[in-house]
Structure 1
Amino acid sequence: MAEHNDQGKRAEELAAEWLIQNGYELKAQNYRHSHAEVDLIMEHNQILVFVEVKFRSGTGFGYAEEFVDYTKKRLLIKAAEHYIYVIDWKKDIRFDIVGVYKDRSGKINFKHFEDAFY
């Protein structure tokens, strides 16, 4: 597996742990439907939260939220709609982005964008 794939997988694990520490419950990880995938599906305050995780080793090339384009959003929504149907979810939903940033000293920081789109 390529290094960037390893970093992305690790970022997803770190984001899940961080969200759990902040009161979220993990429902699914890397949920796939057709060509669409949701990194994390969490529940928080009776809201089903679909989370896209983006890793950045700095902000020189932009911030995490800038890398979720129209096509990616459509794919996330497609996978989310399928998951909602499968589990027969009747309550509110939300789409979030969690940026995982590694600074020069190696420290990991998080930036959470709640209700980022849709």
Structure 2
Amino acid sequence: MLPSEKRRRGQDIEVLTAHWLTAQGLTEIARNQHARGGEIDLIMRDGETLVFVEVRYRATTRYGSPLETVTVTKQRRLIKAARFYLANNRLSCSCRFDVVGVTGHLSALEFTWIKSAFDAF
């Protein structure tokens, strides 16, 4: 698969995940927010809480869950990007970090949502 095809598939998965989370009651705020050292896939709101969402995809779980790919290093990058986003937008609010693991193919995706997957310390 070409890099441009992978990027397009990733964008499609993020859009579908945003729609799925919206159906679960969250409100979409932004997508693909780039910051120094990282990128936040989705920023959602759950009531008064701002939710930074990392979306991970694998076609199958043959070699493990997509959730397992969110390493401590990745968590640090997401925390840094979230802090930058909050400072840049002058926000002071309750926040959390969620991870959504997506498996399957575009015609039949499975979503596994981990709320408060890690903390920002």
Structure-1 separation of matches of 2:23 and 2:67: 22
Shift of 1:23: 1.2
Aligned-residue CA RMSD (Å):
1.6
- Which of 93, 102, 110 aligns to 1:100? It is 102
Shift of 1:30: 0.4
CA contact (8 A) 1:7 1:55 kept: no
Query: 2-side partners of 1:90 and 1:33: how far apart?
Result: 18
- 2:58 corresponds in structure 1 to 56
Q: 1:35 touches 1:75 (CA, 8 Å); kept in 2? A: yes
Does 1:19 find its partner at 2:31?
no
Residue equivalent to 1:28: 30
Q: Which runs of 4+ in 1 moved over 4 A?
A: none
Aligned to 1:115: 116
- Once the two structures are superposed, residues 25-55 of structure 1 have per-residue CA deviations (whole angstroms, 9 ceiling, x without a partner) of 1111000112310000000111000000011
Percent identity among equivalent residues?
A: 38
The two structures have a TM-score, normalised by structure 2, of 0.89
Q: What is the CA-CA distance between 1:74 and the residue it aligns to?
A: 0.8
Query: Given residue 63 of structure 2, which amino acid in structure 1 is its aligned partner?
Result: F
Query: Per-residue deviation at 1:83?
Result: 1.1
- Choose the corresponding residue for 1:71, options 58, 70, 73: 73
User: How far off is 1:22 after superposition?
Assistant: 1.3
Cα distance in 2 for residues equivalent to 1:32 and 1:2: 19
Paired position in structure 2 for 1:9: 11
Q: How much does 1:106 deviate?
A: 4.2
**2-structure distance, mates of 1:61, 1:3:** 22
Q: Give yes or no for the alignment of 1:88 onto 2:76.
A: no
